[in-house]
Chain A
Amino acid sequence: TQLLEQSPQFLSIQEGENLTVYCNSSSVFSSLQWYRQEPGEGPVLLVTVVTGGEVKKLKRLTFQFGDARKDSSLHITAAQTGDTGLYLCAGAEYRGSTLGRLYFGRGTQLTVWP
């Protein structure tokens, strides 16, 4: 059973379109991180959100942490071909000896066509 569910699993859009990727869980997380992974490389951290209701912007990317700290979304405005990649969300759960452990969703594979 996956602790974090991401949707959609695959997304194929044209350059210039907007999109939203969702990350949902029934568990509460102390923080949530978004990563992007390209073929042959490891995940690269995009942002960490910590406070319920927090919104962070990174150029054309907007990240939101749900009020209850159980879910998050990533919105991309005017997608570019360089945005293509696997987007992973990861929840950090503070629980005694498992301090710092990250639970990853299975990811959303985004393809942006020219």
Chain B
Amino acid sequence: DSGVTQTPKHLITATGQRVTLRCSPRSGDLSVYWYQQSLDQGLQFLIQYYNGEERAKGNILERFSAQQFPDLHSELNLSSLELGDSALYFCASSVGPGYSNQPQHFGDGTRLSIL
């Protein structure tokens, strides 16, 4: 158990819809990272928040947005969903702002299926 909690575990929805994925980091961790994992692209970094502020941005689409709340949990919002958005979405957390040798602890992911 990594201590990172993601909900829901599975999500099935239709094209054009909007969903929210939730992540609670490990106790004491201030950074939250979001990743997308698909068969053709592998694990891709989307965005990082540190103590409520956006810290780094990766390959995140404009239809996607995220935020980190004062209690440090984070939400990833995906809108105008397309078939290609079907993937596993992982949240990870780390203690500090993300120094290069700092481990990231991953949750078990949310599997999003677009019909």
Contacts and interface: CB of A to CB of B under 8 A. Distances in A.
A100 B103 contact: no
Contacts of A40: 108
Question: Which size bracket describes the interface of A in this complex?
Answer: 20 to 34
Given A31-B101, A41-B108, A94-B100, A100 B42 contact: no
Contact of B98 (A88, A100, A103): A100
Question: Which size bracket describes the interface of B in this complex?
Answer: 20 to 34
A105 B2 contact: no
B14 interface: no
Contacts of B90: 42-43
A100 B49 CA distance: 11
Interface of A: 2, 29-31, 33, 35, 40-45, 48, 50, 88, 90, 92-94, 97-107
15 contacts: A2-B42, A33-B104, A41-B109, A42-B106, A90-B43, A93-B100, A97-B55, A99-B100, A100-B94, A100-B100, A104-B42, A104-B43, A104-B44, A106-B42, A107-B42
